[in-house]
């Protein structure tokens, strides 16, 4: 035909008839109505395939922010997120599986020594991790400081490595909970990130789809954590434990302190170096304490509570698994790690006792030095970050170095110092020591 073409009914592609109107679901939820199982299944599926528009899903997310989701409603929401993609199956492995998820913090390098440690005890660890955004560091960013190491593995490579080595830390594939990936990006730009039901379903849909037999959650609380108050952290932990248990995954949670940075480093290569120290039998006491606490929970959940992980740090077997894990992903565990070209120190102004050191301030400083990113596509500097020379409770002298700032770009020092204004206090009284693990929820 020429001129204006017309399509006959037979030529015109059929538009799928949807069983619900999303506006009805938005209005109902806004008034406090419970979404039925069928409505939840439909809206997650329809959004994933584009039949529900971003602005409609953002309106529904905002209604959930104000009204919430009932426990069974949230369980169905999470199940629908899982059903949007594939679910991995590790039942064919020769050993049980257990995984750990942290809600993120400053200096949180625990996954690096933890995965090989638990594997050395006879439990496979399929650790699907992410990259950092803002002041919290990403596990993949840390490991990519190791020359040659690669994050992207196929499912077949992942399974083979779990069988041969016992541990894998890698990027999650696009097939796991694609509904969550799409919804998370939407929440990030619509002011609906900090909604506990949506946080819980986001985390747990990916972890359950991952296929692990048991899961230990490290829910951090304090200035450097996503959850600033113990009440919010507890609510999130209880919600996630309920979702995991409801899906048939043995799930427990530890509430852990994030008022002060973990360990003595915040930054990618700096944290890898510290993790290797832990695997060698040394390292900061708080990192060792939390690594062993999480390892014991993972082993108990997987039915191997008879093994003491401290023995595997002492005899070098955890280090052997670390090296094998890095080599399996084309990294060189013996290579020299990157170091920043420039350093600057922050010193104590007076004599006394370091009373506090704010985790958020240290995290922001490390981010501004180049260790983190503001947008997911931003590059990071492998050697950038903050090194701590004292922790709360330590006696310090005027002029003593408290922090060393590391970066390749010295013009970043000024803004990093600004972030550290008021970040620490020096007094005359030793603060009461609080253990890293604050509570356990099962």
Average pLDDT over residues 107-127: 97
Q: Are 90 and 55 in contact (CB under 8 A)?
A: no
Please, which pLDDT band fits residue 12 given cuts at 50, 70 and 90? Answer: very low
Active-site residue, 296 included: no
Catalytic entry in 95, 100, 131, 187: 187
Catalytic entry in 102, 129, 201, 202: 202
Lowest mean pLDDT across 5-14, 71-80, 278-287, 317-326 = 5-14
Active-site residue, 323 included: no
**Per-residue 3-state assignment (H helix, E strand, C coil) for the chain:** CCCCCCCCCCCCCCCCCCCCCHHHHHHHHHCCCCCCHHHHHHHHHHHHCCCCCHHHHHHHHHHHHHHCCCHHHHHHHHHHHHHCCCCCCCCCCCCCECEEEECCCCCCCCHHHHHHHHHHCCCEEEEEECCCECCECCHHHHHCCCCCCCCCCCHHHHHHHHHHCCEEEEECCCCCCHHHHHHHHHHHCCCCCCCHHHHHHHHHHHHHHCCCCEEEEEEEECCCCCECCHHHHHHHHHHHHHHHHHCCCEEEEEEEECCCCCCCEECHHHHHHHHHHHHCCCCCHHHHHHHHHHHHHHHHHCCCCCCCHHHHHHCCHHHHHHHHHHHHCCCCCCCCCCCCCEEEEEECCCCEEEEEECHHHHHHHHHHHHHCCCCCCCCCCCCCEEEECCCCCCEECCCCEEEEEEECCHHHHHHHHHHCCCCEEEECCCCCCCCCEEEEEC
Please, which pLDDT band fits residue 135 given cuts at 50, 70 and 90? Answer: confident
| Residue 161 pLDDT exceeds 90 | yes
| Residue 14 pLDDT exceeds 70 | no
Active-site residue, 187 included: yes
Per-residue pLDDT at 78: 97
Quick: pLDDT tens for 281-291.
999 999 999 99
Per-residue pLDDT at 65: 94
Active-site residue, 202 included: yes
Average pLDDT over residues 46-72: 96
Catalytic entry in 76, 100, 135, 206: 206
Domains 99-328 and 342-427 share a fold: no
Average pLDDT over residues 98-123: 96
Per-residue pLDDT at 344: 98
pTM recorded for the entire structure = 0.92
Active-site residue, 406 included: no
Per-residue pLDDT at 215: 98
Rounded to the nearest 10 degrees, the angle between the axes of helix 71-83 and helix 230-246 is: 60
Distance CA 380, CA 424 (A): 26
| pLDDT, the chain, mean | 93
**Any idea where the domains of the chain sit in the sequence?**
22-68, 99-328, 342-427
The CATH number that domain 99-328 falls under is 3.40.1030.10
Catalytic entry in 79, 108, 180, 218: 180
Catalytic entry in 76, 100, 101, 368: 101
Quick: pLDDT tens for 360-397.
999 999 999 999 877 767 789 999 999 999 999 999 99
Per-residue pLDDT at 134: 65
Average pLDDT over residues 145-173: 96
Task: Name the fold adopted by 342-427.
Answer: Aldehyde Oxidoreductase; domain 3 (3.90.1170)
Distance CA 227, CA 109 (A): 18
Per-residue pLDDT at 133: 63
| Residue 246 pLDDT exceeds 80 | yes
| Residue 146 pLDDT exceeds 90 | yes
Average pLDDT over residues 398-407: 98
């Amino acid at each position: 035909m020429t001129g204006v073409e017309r399509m006959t009914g037979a030529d015109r592609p059929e538009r799928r008839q949807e069983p619900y109107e999303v506006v009805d679901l938005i209005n109902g939820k806004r008034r406090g109505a419970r979404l039925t199982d069928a409505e939840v299944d439909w809206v997650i599926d329809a959004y994933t395939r584009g039949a529900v528009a971003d602005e409609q899903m953002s309106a529904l997310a905002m209604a959930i922010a104000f009204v919430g989701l009932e426990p069974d409603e949230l369980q169905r929401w999470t199940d629908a997120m899982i059903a949007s993609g594939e679910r991995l199956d590790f039942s064919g492995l020769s050993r049980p599986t257990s995984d750990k998820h942290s809600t993120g913090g400053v200096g949180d390098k625990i996954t690096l020594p933890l995965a090989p440690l638990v594997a050395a005890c006879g439990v496979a660890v399929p650790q699907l991790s992410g990259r950092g955004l803002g002041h919290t560091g990403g596990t993949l960013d840390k490991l990519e400081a190791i020359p040659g190491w690669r994050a992207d593995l196929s499912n077949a490579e992942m399974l083979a490595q779990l069988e041969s080595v016992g541990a894998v830390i890698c990027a999650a594939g696009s097939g796991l909970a694609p509904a969550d990936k799409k919804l998370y990006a939407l929440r990030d730009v619509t002011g609906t990130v900090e909604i506990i039901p949506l946080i819980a379903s986001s985390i747990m849909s990916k972890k359950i789809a991952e296929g692990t037999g048991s899961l230990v959650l490290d829910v951090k609380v304090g200035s450097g954590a996503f959850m600033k108050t113990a009440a919010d952290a507890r609510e999130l932990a209880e919600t996630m434990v309920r979702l995991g248990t409801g899906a048939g995954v043995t799930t427990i949670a530890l509430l852990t302190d994030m008022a002060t940075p973990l360990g003595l480093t915040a930054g990618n290569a700096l944290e890898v170096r510290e993790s290797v120290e832990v695997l060698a039998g040394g390292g900061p006491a708080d990192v060792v304490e939390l690594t062993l606490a999480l390892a014991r929970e993972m082993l108990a959940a997987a039915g191997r509570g008879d093994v003491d992980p401290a023995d595997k740090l002492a005899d070098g077997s955890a280090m052997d698994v670390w090296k094998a894990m890095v080599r399996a992903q084309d990294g060189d565990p013996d290579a020299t790690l990157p170091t920043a070209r420039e350093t600057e120190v922050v010193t104590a102004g007076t004599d006394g006792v370091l009373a506090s050191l704010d985790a958020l301030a240290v995290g922001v400083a490390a981010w501004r030095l180049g260790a983190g990113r503001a947008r997911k596509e931003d590059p990071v500097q492998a050697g950038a970050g903050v090194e701590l020379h004292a922790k709360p409770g330590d006696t310090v002298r005027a002029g003593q170095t408290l922090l060393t700032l590391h970066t390749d770009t010295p013009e970043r020092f000024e803004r990093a110092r600004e972030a550290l204004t008021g970040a620490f206090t020096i007094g005359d009284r030793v603060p009461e020591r609080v253990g890293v693990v604050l509570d356990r929820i099962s």
